[in-house]
Structure 1
Amino acid sequence: MGVNIPGLIGIIVFYLLILIIGFVAARKKSSKSASSNSDDLLLAGRNLGMFVASFSSAATMVGGAYVNGTAESMGRDGLVWSLAPILYNVGVAIAALIYAPKVRRARYTTIFDPMQEKYGNNMGGFLFFSELLSDLFWEAAILSALGTTLSIIMDLDTSISIIVSACVAVFYTFFGGLYSVAYTDVIQLLCIAVGLVLSIPFAIKHPSVNLERIQGNWIGELPTRQIGPYVDFLLQTTFGGIPWQAFYQRILACKSPNLARNSTLVGVAISIIMAFPPAVIGIIGAATDWNATSYPGEVPLSREDWVDILPMVLQYLCPVAISVIGIGAISAAASDREIVWVLRISIAVTGTLGAIIAITVRSVYGLFVLCGDLMYVIQFPMLTCALWVKFANTYGSIAGCIVGLFINLTGGFPTLKIPPLIKYPFYDPEIGQIFPFKTLATICCFLTIIIVSYVTHVLFTKEILPKKFDIFQCYVEKYHMTSDLVPGKIDEKNGEISVINDKKQNGSYKMSSNALTLNGNSNLHVEF
């Protein structure tokens, strides 16, 4: 198959559009601030309005992995196994209603701030790695989707396609920070919507498409022996969607807590709507007699071939003009969900590692689901306990991590071709683990954090154990001031900040009724 010249032109045009928007956004950032401080780079100056925040929130989910993965799973496995897009959004909605207002009112910079406050800086740094790994899988899913698209229309090696796309995504994020990501998110989301919606009427009317081929089969099947893994799948994709840094980056960049909540809920609605076009395209792909098209591959499609179903429908079932719009929009959706808040050099590293994983693992939908694994097992319990369990401490978090990771890692990862070390009850040699061990790992992580934290809290506060044995210094009183603002200490309504007096009550510092009005950049940091 030769290079699709119109498709190539469409891709170039869409890439240029994304790069231009990214640079314009970066200039917007520069014009608002002479220096590039953390709030500008990470949180767009905490100045995102309803429109940009809503679309950016939706676009953190909707991209190449979202649309390609949905089409892949829907066409191959049916609706029953294609619920990940909906369930991830359900998790985000839960986070918007329960988690988002709390963290936005506290004016955190990243979602790791409350965990560092509760568990200490070292433990907070360790928890960063599970977020990083999940982000790598997410980016790999996006780049894998993009690689399959480019390889279909340009007869180009998938690995080369992935590398080129990673370079573009890293390039504009490197210079623009969240401003670039937020504004390009909006453009990409609109492009994807227009491209996919336009393609459906043309594809479904193609002579090779006969919906009677899939009548009664599009729902999919759920064998009894797969109920356990299915429970893991449902819960992992729902609650694994709650602790994502990329989601909270948009939350913390909003002008107010109410706007953060409302814009996220609007973003969830947009994202769920955006799941329908690729699902329909997947069904069309399943209803197509590919022998009656110009598709050069083998028929029937192998399980691996289904990864390409969305670009195949656009390429072989749509007119050239519609194909260019659809393919260009999907190809431009290389928007990364990598963590902009580390250092700029980490953006390049993340892009590189994401590309390597994308080249190694072929299933877009498999990576899409896998990225929520550690978020469900580790980050979800850690964040929840940090925000709502008052006595949670470093001892509990370390123990919870050990228990949760042990149960999860020993169960194996079929998507990565990692075999299980422990065969849990009802193990099947063909389909692997049947017992919902990931949910077991999450529950055990929760219980371990709470129980170990409570026991150590009682031991040290009741002085059953001398505080010299408090090796992580969870119960050592500290009191000092700096000129840095502590997230959560400022009263946004009247610009006042509560301070701690010098009097002790029952061995601990108490908040006084005194207040200090902040002027300019004179901020107070109190740690105790």
Structure 2
Amino acid sequence: MPLNVPGLVAVIVFYGFTLATGLWAAWKAKKEKRGGNQTEVAIVGGRNMNFFVGLFTTVATWVGGAYINGTAEIVYLPSRGLAWVHAPLGFSLAFIIGGLFFIKPMRSKKYVTMMDPLQETYGNTMGSILFIPPLLGDIFWFASILASLGATVSVILDVTGFVSIIVSACTVIVYTLLGGLYSVAYTDVIQLIFMLISLCTCAPFALMNPATTNIAYTAVHELYQAPWIGKIETEYLARWVDDLIFLALGSIAWQVYFQRVLAASSTSQARLISYIAGFICAFMAVPSLLIGAAAASTDWNQTTYGLPSPAERGESSMILAIVLQYLCPTYVSIAGLGAVAAAVMSSADSSLLSSSSMFAHNIYKKMLRKQASEKEILWIMRISMVVFGSAATGMAFVSRSIYDLWFLAGELVYAVLFPQLCCVLFIPGTNTYGSAAGFLFGFILRLLAGENSLRIPPIIHYPGCRLVDGAYVQLFPFKTFTMLCTLASIILVSYLTEILLRKNIVSTKWDVCNVVRKSHAPLACPRTEEPTDHQVNEMLMHSIEGHT
């Protein structure tokens, strides 16, 4: 297939426009920094983010390349179908639950990152350990969505995928590095609008292609493959529920979410953004759902793609790009490619800012250099963006394993980090010993369930564990079970160590985390402001007059 020159030009124009928007936002952020805390402006936008900008950046962060590509793929897969599309409902529930329960306690103490309450309760050392799962998740997320863009570009433009991966990564790193949250948020506005228009334009063309049968018929009737609406077998119901709860609760404990709700100008505005974003996020899945349904309803022998079908060739992961290329006119496929590029950058910049913010604020400032200046912290953020972004770009070239690692990192965040966050916000009395025990227990318990992508066989065979195509499949809701076990271990170990140390059953000399000392710390004296030079002079004059 020859190089698609018009498509290449359109993509270059789009990238240039995005970069220009990011640079303009960086200039705006520079003006804001002159009148406030530079770190807070870079991380949480000075806590005065415009409502609509905040809403758009929240939606765009979650509606990424993996979201729109993955939704179309699952609908298309003969073994899955619409019934197994969890992301739209799961993310919507995450936004609603986050708005109801998590926003107020996080904003009430004016935290800067998600790690602040964890370090405040469990200390800096434990906080640095808890930083590892979300850091890996952000890097793997960045890498996986770059890989999805590379696959799409290679199909539509006939350009080597690594070129688009490198260009996209460099563009994202540059404007995020210069403008922080302002650049990310304002480019997200452009990207989300473009994504919505492009996908809504592409879906009708795919549905009306002569090779595509009416999707209402193929939803329930088998024609070219199994009905795309899919079904949930009774034996898989527990796993289906487990996956839904995993997305609904596991999607909360991420810095990309709290970065936006902490940037809102008020708690009520942050909650409203969260609620509305949940509904828009679900709506944004509709074009991908229709594209996946169109792919399942297409006689590929009537297209230039030919037979065997994408599923039979093992190319289901690229079904969105294949539909755009073979079922839509050229100019429409170019618009669809722009939508994928917009989706990728809107999520990639968020993950990059998330990991660098936590590293600079929670690791560097609070642990390595407590006396660091604002300017120094900003430079550490920028350096970490380059390092993390470069690492993710390198990983994007091994896309298959990266997707698996991303899912595993997400499960670790759900099983290990989410219970920790719940404890520090809602359950008083938990301590560092409980946190360490919960982290270790949850991590080991998750690995003992096995992981096919890493070729780790399950040691624990939960009820319903079976061998399918040479790999073990856990039908028991082990993700949620692991999360609940972690939560229980944090609470039990915390209260047990508190009792043992307080009653001197275990000598306090073994209290290396100073749990007893913290729980019995005297109330701090009221803090008074330092007197000004004028006040000091007046006190001296009164003292002299008194002596004379």
The one-letter code of the counterpart of 1:374 is L
1:447 counterpart residue number:
488
Q: 1:190 aligns with which of 190, 193, 203?
A: 193
Q: Is the 8 A contact 1:218 1:283 kept in 2?
A: yes
2:69 counterpart residue number:
68
Q: Which 5+ residue runs of structure 1 have no aligned equivalent? A: 479-506, 521-528
1:469 counterpart residue number:
510
The percent identity for this pair of structures is: 40
CA 1:421–1:18: 2 relative to 1, 3 Å = farther
Structure 1 residues 286-337: Cα deviation after superposition (integer angstroms, max 9, x where no partner): 1112221122674253373111111222222222222222211212332212
SS in 2 for 1:390: coil
Q: Is the 8 A contact 1:91 1:237 kept in 2?
A: yes
Please tell me whether residue 215 in structure 1 is matched to residue 220 in structure 2: yes
1:223 Cα deviation from its structure 2 partner: 3.1
1:418 Cα deviation from its structure 2 partner: 4.2
- Structure 2 distance, partners of 1:69, 1:367, is 16
Consecutive aligned runs of 4 or more in structure 1 exceeding 4 Å deviation: 363-371, 415-418, 514-520
Within 5 Å, which residues of 2 pair with 1:210-359? 210-211=213-214, 212-216=217-221, 217-295=227-305, 298-299=308-309, 301-302=311-312, 304-335=314-345, 336=348, 337-338=351-352, 339=354, 340-341=356-357, 342=359, 343-359=381-397
- Structure 1 distance, partners of 2:237, 2:31, is 55
1:16 counterpart residue number:
16
Within 5 Å, which residues of 2 pair with 1:120-135? 120-135=123-138
- Structure 2 distance, partners of 1:266, 1:519, is 48
1:523 counterpart residue number:
none
CA 1:254–1:300: 2 relative to 1, 3 Å = closer
Please tell me whether residue 42 in structure 1 is matched to residue 24 in structure 2: no
**Matched positions, count:** 491
Deviates more, 1:188-197 or 1:461-470: 461-470
Q: Is the 8 A contact 1:294 1:316 kept in 2?
A: yes
Q: Is the 8 A contact 2:395 2:402 kept in 1?
A: no
SS in 2 for 1:302: helix
Structure 1 residues 480-503: Cα deviation after superposition (integer angstroms, max 9, x where no partner): xxxxxxxxxxxxxxxxxxxxxxxx
Within 5 Å, which residues of 2 pair with 1:140-159? 140-159=143-162
1:491 counterpart residue number:
none
1:277 Cα deviation from its structure 2 partner: 1.1
1:498 counterpart residue number:
none
1:199 Cα deviation from its structure 2 partner: 1.2
Q: Is the 8 A contact 2:154 2:161 kept in 1?
A: yes
Structure 1 residues 339-362: Cα deviation after superposition (integer angstroms, max 9, x where no partner): 240322222232233334433233
Structure 1 residues 189-238: Cα deviation after superposition (integer angstroms, max 9, x where no partner): 11110000011222211111113344341221323443343233122111
The one-letter code of the counterpart of 1:27 is W
Q: Is the 8 A contact 2:60 2:343 kept in 1?
A: no
Deviates more, 1:447-456 or 1:27-36: 27-36
CA 1:238–1:432: 2 relative to 1, 3 Å = same
Query: What's the C-alpha RMSD, in Å, of the aligned pairs?
Result: 2.5
1:90 counterpart residue number:
93
CA 1:62–1:364: 2 relative to 1, 3 Å = farther
Structure 1 residues 138-187: Cα deviation after superposition (integer angstroms, max 9, x where no partner): 22331122111111112233344333322222222122211111111111
The one-letter code of the counterpart of 1:171 is V
Deviates more, 1:37-46 or 1:109-118: 37-46
Q: Is the 8 A contact 1:56 1:267 kept in 2?
A: no
Q: TM-score, normalising length from structure 1? A: 0.87
Q: Which 5+ residue runs of structure 2 have no aligned equivalent? A: 222-226, 360-380, 533-548
Q: TM-score, normalising length from structure 2? A: 0.84
Comparing both structures, which one devotes a greater share of its residues to helix?
A: 2
Q: Is the 8 A contact 1:396 1:450 kept in 2?
A: yes
The one-letter code of the counterpart of 1:22 is G
1:366 Cα deviation from its structure 2 partner: 6.0
1:161 counterpart residue number:
164
The one-letter code of the counterpart of 2:290 is V
Q: Is the 8 A contact 2:30 2:179 kept in 1?
A: no
CA 1:199–1:363: 2 relative to 1, 3 Å = farther
SS in 2 for 1:509: coil
1:205 counterpart residue number:
208
1:375 Cα deviation from its structure 2 partner: 1.9
1:79 counterpart residue number:
82
Structure 1 residues 12-49: Cα deviation after superposition (integer angstroms, max 9, x where no partner): 11111111111010000112224982112111111102
The one-letter code of the counterpart of 1:255 is S
Q: Is the 8 A contact 2:465 2:476 kept in 1?
A: yes
1:411 counterpart residue number:
449
Deviates more, 1:313-322 or 1:396-405: 313-322
* Larger Rg, first or second structure (1 or 2): 2
1:64 Cα deviation from its structure 2 partner: 1.1
CA 1:30–1:236: 2 relative to 1, 3 Å = same
Comparing both structures, which one devotes a greater share of its residues to strand?
A: 1
The one-letter code of the counterpart of 1:33 is K
Deviates more, 1:238-247 or 1:339-348: 339-348
CA 1:132–1:304: 2 relative to 1, 3 Å = farther
